[in-house]
Amino acid sequence: MRYRELGRTGLRVSELGFGTIPILSGHVPVLPEYFSPDRDTAVAIMKNAFDHGCNFYDTAIPEEYGDAEMKLGAFVKTVDRSKVIISDKARFYSGAEIYREVLRSVQNLGTTPDVYFVHQVDDSNADEVFGKNGALEALYDLKREGKIGFTGIASHYYSVLHRAALDPRVDVLQGSGNILERGMLDRIREEADFRGKGFILNKVYAAGLLIGPFSTTELIGGVLEYPFSCALLGIGTFEQEEVAFAREYEPVHFEFEEVLERLRKTFAPIGCDRCEKCICPYGHELHTSFRQFNYYHLGKEFWAVNKLWMDLERTYEHCRSCEEQPCMRDCPRGLHIPEEIERVHRLIMQYGKT
Ligand code: SF4
Ligand code: SF4
């Protein structure tokens, strides 16, 4: 296992970390598969990762990750606490709420989290999170009180992560990316504002959907060239763990076109890398629709189509009458966005509402 600096925290984290979603039990509507191991098995799986050199474990409060936080707390008691780095998170945006959640997490874990993230920050809640009496201010206070080690912002949006990168109260960022959805990673690599912040990468396997067209060696090796601190892998079984942690991966470089070419063996993907540069004045989140289209063909049919129904009909109607089409000016991939929206629309019409 190789190790990287976690920004300016002074912590060194394993290049590959343990994402705890797959070990949770409970009815939590999260996307990736989870395996519900009992507590002892979950602890043994986490311990095995530790023995392979993993020192970074990421979890969230029970409403988001079931009992994973408690299982992680049980594991930590079996090893030298100073050798394990715990990150935790909660989807609350006001200072009072996140303060309460951190205290609850400390109880559940039985120890102080090294990093605590405000989870799922987006444009609709960012002003509250970053503003006066917001969640970030509370995390900053908790850090000074010694109740957490470092502060974090977790988001799927470049605009939010960039705002966090510019904020001196933030120590660590968490965002998504993989060899297909690499646009945000490319932007972060190019933007000097991100230097000095720790960066935790999730969705390396795209919630498991890219396993099949690509091997885990290609998926892990394909992101190693990016300047993250730790890439989380969702682990729910000893078998998955052996694949993830029992060997050292070498960087593999894929051109974006090579990734699309591989996918074309089974379907015609929309060649969007989710750079999030396209701006639609009607507020349509194009990259999410394009992701759902690709995810549909990669095997998440019901989930992807149901999510697409949320906004797509409105987007389709707007695109048909949109004359200036400003979204296309900034697309570095040269996508004809209205035509791609039409393809997505055809897919959901053919699939029908479920
Ligand atoms: S073409 Fe469609 S997506 Fe692009 S700006 Fe117009 S309405 Fe928005
Ligand atoms: S449609 Fe183009 S600009 Fe928009 S996210 Fe995808 S690649 Fe980026």
Q: What is the DSSP letter of 23?
A: G
Condensed to tens digits (0 to 9), the pLDDT of residues 182-209 reads 999 999 999 999 999 999 999 999 988 9
- Give the pair of three-digit tokens for residue 309: 């129904």
**Residue 340 Cβ contacting ligand 2 at under 6 Å:** no
CA gap 115, 230 in Å, rounded: 13
Name the domain boundary from 215, 235, 256: 256
DSSP 211: B
Instruction: Say how many Å lie between the CA of residue 322 and the centre of ligand 1.
Output: 6
Tell whether 120 and 224 lie within a shared domain.
yes
Residue 141: inside a domain: yes
On whether residue 262 sits in a domain, the answer given is no
Are 66 and 21 contacting, i.e. CB atoms less than 8 angstroms apart? no
Query: Does 310 share its domain with 206?
Result: no
Nearest to 300 by CA among 267, 264, 257: 267
Same domain, 132 and 272: no
For 196-255, where are the alpha helices, taking DSSP H only?
216-223, 238-245
Q: Are residues 112 and 208 in the same domain?
A: yes
**What pLDDT does 310 receive?**
64
Residue 62 placed within a domain: yes
SS3 (DSSP) at 104? helix
Q: Which amino acid is at 258?
A: E
Q: pTM of the predicted model, to two decimals?
A: 0.94
* Main-chain phi, psi angles of 224, to 5 degrees: -65, -20
Alpha-carbon gap, residue 244 to 242, rounded angstroms:
5
Q: Distance from the CA of 31 to the center of ligand 1, in angstroms?
A: 28
Which atom of ligand 1 approaches the CA of 338 most closely? 1
The answer on 277 and 213 residing in a single domain is no
**Nearest residue by C-alpha to atom 3 in ligand 1:** 280
Give the end of a domain, one of 231, 256, 281. 256
Mutate to test the pocket of ligand 2, among 185, 276, 288, 315 (most ligand atoms within 8 A of CB): 276
274 Cβ below 6 A of ligand 2: yes
Pocket test of ligand 1: the residue of 284, 316, 331 to mutate, having most ligand atoms within 8 Å of its CB, is 284
Residue 328, domain member (yes or no): yes
CA distances, 335 to each of 220, 245, 264, 340 (Å): 27, 37, 16, 8
Model pLDDT for residues 45-104, shown as the tens digit of each residue: 999 999 999 999 999 998 888 889 999 999 999 999 999 999 999 999 999 999 999 999
User: What residue type is assigned to position 335 of the chain?
Assistant: L
125/151 same-domain check: yes
18 and 148 co-located in one domain: yes
Task: Read off the CATH number of the domain in which 7 is found.
Answer: 3.20.20.100
Domain ranges, residue 202: 3-256
Q: Is 232 exposed, middle or buried (0-12, 13-18, 19+ CB in 10 A)?
A: buried
Residue 304's pLDDT band, with cuts at 50, 70 and 90, is: low
Q: What is the mean pLDDT of residues 333-354?
A: 86
Indicate if 232 and 285 belong to the same structural domain.
Answer: no
Say if CB 178 and CB 223 are below 8 A apart.
Answer: yes
Say how far apart CA 43 and CA 102 lie, in whole Å: 22
Give the total number of structural domains in the chain.
Answer: 2
Q: Which residues line ligand 1 (CB under 6 A)?
A: 280-282, 284, 286, 318-319, 322, 325-327, 337-338
Nearest CA to ligand 1 atom 8: 280
The 10s digit of each residue's pLDDT in 120-157 is 999 999 999 999 999 999 999 999 999 999 999 999 99
Same domain, 88 and 171: yes
Residues 83 and 108 in one domain: yes
109-113-116-120 Cα dihedral, nearest 10 degrees: -30
Question: Does residue 245 sit in the same domain as residue 279?
Answer: no
Q: Tokens for 217, please give them.
A: 């060696």
Looking at 233, 256, 279, which one is the last position of a domain? Answer: 256
Domain presence at residue 140 = yes
In a domain, 261, yes or no: no
> Three-class SS of residue 329?
helix
Q: Looking at the structure, tell me whether residues 122 and 25 fall in a common domain.
A: yes
- For residue 260 and ligand 2, the question of a CB distance below 6 A is answered with no
Q: Is residue 165 part of a domain?
A: yes
